[in-house]
A and B are shown apart, each in its own frame.
Chain A
Amino acid sequence: MPMLEIKNAELSIDDKKILKGLSLNVNEGETHAIMGPNGSGKSTLSYMLAGRDGYELDNGSITFNNIDLIPLSPDERSNLGLFLAFQYPVELPGVSSTNFLREIFNSRKKYLGEDELTHLDFIKHLRKVAQNLSIKDEMLKRYVNYGFSGGEKKRFEILQMALLNPKISVLDETDSGLDVDALKIVSEGVNNLKDKKNAVIVITHYQRLLDYIKPDIVHIMSDGKIIKSGDADLALYIEKNGYSEILNEQN
């Protein structure tokens, strides 16, 4: 029984079909990579998984640990352990990063029936986690994503992932905007969180991320469907040759 099972997902936005019968199984402990040309529907897939308003399926099913996700709201899905690192993280002006992080951290603890941390204990914990991702204290005093550089935003996403310790994480182009050093730090951060019980789906355009986060399975997505899956070598092949040959094979 896969941890995440997407069967034949169809989804349209404004009457335009974006996902056209997409299926994907992810098991505990696995790392998947999804690659594919711009506009093929990768971010749409991630929003659909997270339960964003307007991204309801026309057809198909999604289950997570055997639970039907379709009727669940974004926060309920998050509570089950689903995390999405946004391709474009959203700014929350006026909302202090530290407060935001404490709120989401304690709300997760509460859901899990664990003790919430006191302010002081949380700050200690946060400092440690942030340090591992080379995030400076100064950044945590700022408003959530507000005026963050592209790379800072991506790091902040992974910081949240580390705090929430999700069961399945979808990282949507987390590598874009990261400098060489940051790419390494962030990837290590993701790898450190990885264990046999959780799973990661990385959406990326580039092999350089996959040099650090080694995928078990690579999928090629085009025009709303997964058209080919393979091992890590498939990504290397794409890096060298582009998509055209695989796309042609399809037609």
Chain B
Amino acid sequence: MVATTETINQVKTSTDRYKYGFSTEIEVDKAPKGLNEDIIRFISQKKDEPKWMLDWRLEAFKKWKKMEKPNWAKVSFPDIDFQDIYYYAAPKAKKKLNSLDEVDPELLKTYEKLGIPLNEQKMLAGVAVDAVFDSVSVATTFREKLSEVGVIFCPISEAIKNHPYLVKKYIGSVVPVTDNYYTALNSAVFTDGSFVYIPKGVKCPMELSTYFRINEKNTGQFERTLIIVEDEGYVSYLEGCTAPQRDENQLHAAVVELVALNRSQIKYSTVQNWYPGDETGKGGIYNFVTKRGKCLGDNSKISWTQVETGSAITWKYPSCILMGNNSVGEFYSVAITNNAQQADTGTKMIHIGKNTKSTIISKGISAGKSQNTYRGQVQIQKGASNARNFTQCDSLLIGNTCSAHTVPYINQHVSNAKVEHEATTSKISEDQLFYCMQRGLDAEQATSMIVNGFCKEVMKELPMEFAVEAQKLIGISLEGSVG
């Protein structure tokens, strides 16, 4: 949720070099720099929001002004001047490209590497594809199919207007405004994001992804996502397929809230591939995100699966609050850092209900001069009798100049709870590399193969098409990490 002067400048200068961007094509409609009540009113007005929403924002802003920036994460970056940021910048219509020939060949090369089919390449690159692949009609059929079963899937700005009762009831109920410095800021200035509502007993007939949403409407830099699943409902949500994120040089600034009611299930998968900066650490995205799910109902379940390969700095801890009895929280994570990237990521599992269960599988891979920290908290509160947690954190080092850290916090207030923690650190083995290369794979293919094997337990949690993409992405992000 934070844009620093530094970052804005870095992003600007790196725009020329960031081979995946083409922000020059985009004209921007923006509010003046800086943050004050007027800017917030401006945003709210632009979004045509009801008064209660504006009041909520202003209240958040008041609180934010009194808060301190967190500094406990193992990341370092220049101080942030919040008055030197644009808080509202909506892209005007993109310049329409007529054929793939007009698209940056580097971008196409990346798509090709990712194995994205040609039609989708066109769509992602913003080429008019009406004749071949009608993105509008795809979006439409897809909306119709969802509304048939009563699923609501729309931009949050739309939900605020059309489903105020739901938004009012749940926004800020999982991630309180003042949870941390960045959530307060986000609450004051969020500009867009997704809203999902799954009614009672409905199993969402398709995987929902921001991929479609983004193509429907460009999302802003302070995203806010809210997913609510009623009793016995189910949804699988995919965030940010890699390619569309490549084309934006904005900062990732999100709050994600999930609410799972009785016997419902939410599966939230992310593949994050923001611009990581160059080999020397210049440029790149600061990715400070607060994601949290609340298992409010009994026997509910929330799973987070994430593959993090991009960003200069990642600060992200998708968490579960296990309130309902017998509720289940899961966290599967692969975090890859190369060159000068810094990642401080992990999860929090807060056990409140009886017989609650959580599983944490974290795979950190560091290469280059990067830093990779796993930070995990398991809290077993009074009353969470019979709670169970299993945590496994594995780190893989490639080369000698990177580092991996594991920081587990365990607070246990119940005697019959069981908390298990396993951690390993290994280096990519010469034997394995040589074995693969003897069979004709080059050093990069070999490394990617071994690393993918190392991440298997997490990758198998991803939906099929996402997994294929993530696998290729791992290969791409490790390029240049082996001799």
Contact = CB atoms under 8 A, between A and B. Distances in A.
B445 interface: yes
B439 A160 contact: yes
A95 B451 CA distance: 9
Contacts of B446: 75
Contacts of B435: 86, 89-90, 92
Interface in A44-87: 50, 52-53, 73-75, 77-79, 83-84, 86
Contacts of A74: 434, 437-438
Contacts, number: 72
Contacts of A93: 453-454, 456
Nearest to B448: A103
A149 B443 CA distance: 28
Interface stretch (A34-42, A104-112, A186-194, A230-238): A104-112
A100 B434 contact: no
Interface in A20-44: none
Given A94-B453, A94-B456, A79 B431 contact: no
A143 interface: yes
A94 B394 CA distance: 13
A168 interface: no
A92 B428 CA distance: 11
B434 A92 contact: no
B441 A75 contact: yes
Interface size class of chain A, counting residues whose CB lies under 8 Å from the partner chain: 20 to 34
B453 A143 contact: yes
Contact of A53 (B434, B453, B456): B434
A143 B443 CA distance: 20
B237 to A, nearest CB: 26
Nearest to A108: B440
Contact of B443 (A75, A77, A78, A108): A75
A229 to B, nearest CB: 26
Nearest to A163: B439
B285 interface: no
Contact of B445 (A83, A92, A107): A107
A78 B438 contact: yes
Nearest to A80: B440
27 contacts: A52-B434, A73-B437, A73-B443, A75-B438, A75-B440, A75-B446, A78-B437, A79-B440, A90-B429, A90-B431, A90-B432, A90-B434, A90-B435, A92-B436, A92-B449, A92-B450, A92-B453, A93-B453, A94-B452, A94-B456, A94-B457, A95-B453, A95-B456, A103-B441, A103-B445, A104-B440, A143-B453
Interface of B: 429-432, 434-443, 445-446, 449-450, 452-457
Given A75-B446, A95-B456, 20 more contacts: A73-B443, A75-B440, A75-B441, A78-B437, A79-B440, A89-B435, A90-B431, A90-B434, A90-B435, A93-B456, A94-B454, A95-B450, A95-B452, A95-B453, A107-B441, A107-B445, A108-B440, A111-B440, A143-B453, A160-B439
Closest CB pairs A-B (n = 8): A94-B453, A94-B456, A95-B453, A74-B437, A90-B435, A78-B440, A104-B439, A75-B437
